[in-house]
Amino acid sequence: NVIAEVAELAEDIDLERAQTALSRAQAAGDETEDPSALKRAETRITVAGTGKGLS
């Protein structure tokens, strides 16, 4: 089971924006206020790249 406040379809993910978010999260490292930002960006890129999302 997955409980989430927000969900995106693969085709709705802006890949360029997700890549920018990933770069920002990587640059912030341990200093980020949002420790889940890196994982979230990686997941969005993976989903956008495969075209597979929740169905």
Residue pLDDT, tens place only, 10-51: 899 999 999 999 999 888 877 767 778 889 899 999 998 876
Range of the domain at 24: 10-50
* Residue 4, domain member (yes or no): no
Do 47 and 11 touch, CB atoms closer than 8 A?
no
pTM: predicted TM-score of the whole model, two decimal places: 0.70
* Core vs surface per residue 28-50: b (16+ CB within 10 A) or e: eeeeeeeeebbeebeebbebbee
| Domains of the chain: total | 1
* Residue 15, domain member (yes or no): yes
* Residue 3, domain member (yes or no): no
What pLDDT score does 32 carry? 66
